[in-house]
A and B are shown apart, each in its own frame.
Chain A
Amino acid sequence: MSREQILNAAVMLALVAFPLWAWAADEPFLITLTTKAAILALAGVGLNIALGLGGLVSLGHAAFFGIGGYAMGVLASHAQLYDPILESPFLIEGTKSMPIIWLVAITASGLAALAIGALSLRTSGVYFIMITLAFGQMLYFFAISWPAYGGEDGLSIYARNDFPGLNTLDPIQFYIIVLALLAAVLLLTSRLAKSPFGLALNAARQSPVRVETVGISPYRLRLIAFTISGMITGLAGALFADLNRFVSPTMLSWQTSGEIMVFVIIGGVARLFGPVVGAMLFILLEHLLGGLSDYWHVYLGVLLLLIVLFARGGVIGSLAGRGKAHD
């Protein structure tokens, strides 16, 4: 096992052990805190496919996070009011069932990523950053000015949605759902990175002409990567909204995009567990420093600066050494 694999295993172990300890010690707040970290990690894992593997610096991932959130909000708010979303030409009712909500969130954010990607990926570099940012902000202002679902005030859901066989209001049971999803997505992502698609995507980041001269279209590779990336971040958005039982346009704002990117950079770009470590550290800092000062972001800024200047591989890179061309 490489050092990185040992480190990944340790992180996974901590994600299992710490909430179990908190549960035994009757500290539900700590479980909720870990749940938040795991959900944000999932959003980061999504972004990391575009950013790490594909080299696509997207400043618009809040769009997918928010679409996932609103998918949950819209479905659940209709369900709790027993008010169908659509009556004619056919009936669409709201739902409180998590698996259906996830499916809708993934589909909606995937379609949005496909559309946004299809346009944005015609540009590159700083233009790509700007155009993804612009799409994100478009959705943000749309959500603010759309009164049907709360507009600027957002949308509250009275009770957490249901999962068959579990009591989702119990923090540890909701955490188990989130952790299972995170683990499944991490597994799929690790397979994806080593698959022919992952290999080609990674090569397109390093040398697009190379990929083109062997008959593979870099645009197609990137569009698929961007779509998968958006779907995962959308799923995280639905879970985040469920955790808070609240959706608001803030989820769609560019600060959210920035925060997701910060998780990836702190933990390590293109590292499988980079966003997980990044999100955990972010939540830890927010919890510890947030108590000391309202301006705790200053310390976060300093940390980010140090990482970008001295540890390009993020925390994982510093601890596990530089990324080897994967075996």
Chain B
Amino acid sequence: MTEPILQTIGITKSFGALQASQDISIDLRPGEIHALIGPNGAGKSTLIKQIAGGLRPDAGQVLFRGEDVTPLGTAERARRGLARTFQISALAMEDTVLQNALLGAMGAGGTAFRFFRPALAQRDLRAVAENALELVGLSAHAATPTFELSHGQRRQLEVAVALTLAPKAFVMDEPMAGLGFEGSKNLTNFLDRLRDTAPILLVEHDMDAVFALADRVSVLVYGRIIATGTVEEIRNDPDVRVAYLGEDA
């Protein structure tokens, strides 16, 4: 078995009496898309936050490329190549598309603390940013203010910013949310190719997308992983059918 790139070992987190994560161990292997599904309130967002660095687990470890990153913050994990996209777009709305992409290039290159030369004049940063925009198909909108983008385009820009980090793994929180049929289809095709760049831990509600993309699926219910397996195994798992897909699914 290949060494996992991203791994959680026995992550536990509770808020008062609510056990949001109970002894969660999942891993992400090279070249795969690992989907995390579960009903609302199952603790998906809490788990993602602990993996990406916004929240410290009460117990357990997060390993990224063999290193224990549990004590590190979001920014430090990002610098090590863990790229995250958000459920609700977290972009600098007043800035242009290119400026948002440049931000990623600056973070990745550790060049955010250059004070004199205009960012747009720095060829090294620009090349990384423009390349990422090209990949997601946003080149034509480079000079557009971000608030003018459609919902789907903002999603694409989120992915582009993540790409500028030259990531070793992606953590994506519901990238399909709010996209129409056409938009979901396009993004599904894009993510399908993206897994060769870096593996993706995908939290998603859109079951068509999950079943089309995922190499493996983990099902989270009430803070506990009740099953992990291929799409086929998950579809036929009796516990999953009861807890999540609905008994008569």
Question: CB distance B118 to A191 under 8 Å?
Answer: yes
From the candidates B75, B114, B117, B120, name the one contacting A216 in the complex (CB within 8 A): B75
Contacts of B111 in A (CB 8 A): 196
Check A196/B112 contact, CB under 8 A, given A214-B78, A216-B75, A216-B106: yes
A194 to B165, CA, bound (A): 21
Mask for A306-323, Cβ within 8 A of B = 1, else 0? 000000000000000001
Residue of A nearest to B113 (CB): A197
Contacts of A207 in B (CB 8 A): 90-93
A158 to B75, CA, bound (A): 53
Check A214/B107 contact, CB under 8 A, given A199-B99, A325-B95: yes
Residue of B nearest to A209 (CB): B90
Residue of A nearest to B80 (CB): A215
Residue of B nearest to A188 (CB): B116
Assess whether B102 is interfacial by the CB under 8 Å rule.
yes
Contact size range, A? 20 to 34
A213 to B48, CA, bound (A): 13
Mask for B98-142, Cβ within 8 A of A = 1, else 0? 011011101110111111111110100100000000000000000
Closest 5 CB pairs of A and B: A214-B107, A215-B78, A215-B79, A215-B107, A203-B92
Residue of B nearest to A228 (CB): B115
From the candidates A191, A210, A213, name the one contacting B92 in the complex (CB within 8 A): A210
A33 to chain B, nearest CB (A): 34
Task: Tell me the A residues contacting B by CB distance below 8 Å.
Answer: 191-192, 194-200, 202-203, 206-207, 209-217, 220-221, 224, 323-325, 327
B95 to chain A, nearest CB (A): 5
10 A-B pairs with CB atoms under 8 Å apart are A194-B119, A195-B114, A196-B102, A196-B114, A199-B102, A203-B100, A207-B90, A210-B91, A212-B78, A215-B75
Question: CB distance A224 to B113 under 8 Å?
Answer: yes
Question: CB distance A216 to B102 under 8 Å?
Answer: no
Contacts of A198 in B (CB 8 A): 115, 119
Question: CB distance B112 to A210 under 8 Å?
Answer: no
Interface size, chain B (Cβ < 8 Å): 43
Contacts of A211 in B (CB 8 A): 103, 107
Known: A195-B116, A207-B91, A217-B75. 14 other contacts (CB 8 A): A194-B120, A196-B111, A199-B99, A202-B92, A202-B95, A207-B90, A210-B91, A212-B78, A213-B75, A214-B78, A215-B78, A216-B75, A216-B107, A221-B112
Mask for B55-85, Cβ within 8 A of A = 1, else 0? 0000000000000000001111011000110
B73 to chain A, nearest CB (A): 8
A205 to chain B, nearest CB (A): 8
Assess whether B28 is interfacial by the CB under 8 Å rule.
no
Task: Tell me the B residues contacting A by CB distance below 8 Å.
Answer: 52, 54, 73-76, 78-79, 83-84, 86, 90-96, 99-100, 102-104, 106-108, 110-120, 122, 125, 145, 161, 164-165
B52 to chain A, nearest CB (A): 7
Contacts of B112 in A (CB 8 A): 196-197, 200, 216, 221
Residue of A nearest to B81 (CB): A215
A214 to chain B, nearest CB (A): 3
Contacts of A200 in B (CB 8 A): 103, 106-107, 112
Question: CB distance A212 to B114 under 8 Å?
Answer: no
From the candidates B74, B91, B100, B119, name the one contacting A195 in the complex (CB within 8 A): B119
A118 to chain B, nearest CB (A): 17
Residue of A nearest to B111 (CB): A196
Question: CB distance A215 to B108 under 8 Å?
Answer: yes
Contacts of B75 in A (CB 8 A): 212-213, 215-217
Question: CB distance B145 to A214 under 8 Å?
Answer: no
Contacts of B90 in A (CB 8 A): 207, 209-210, 213
From the candidates B86, B99, B108, name the one contacting A214 in the complex (CB within 8 A): B108
B64 to chain A, nearest CB (A): 13
Contacts of B145 in A (CB 8 A): 324-325
Question: CB distance B103 to A195 under 8 Å?
Answer: no
B106 to chain A, nearest CB (A): 5
Check A196/B106 contact, CB under 8 A, given A191-B118, A325-B99: yes
Residue of B nearest to A195 (CB): B115
Contacts of B165 in A (CB 8 A): 214-215
Contacts of B91 in A (CB 8 A): 207, 210
Question: CB distance B114 to A206 under 8 Å?
Answer: no
A215 to B74, CA, bound (A): 7
From the candidates B86, B104, B114, name the one contacting A197 in the complex (CB within 8 A): B114
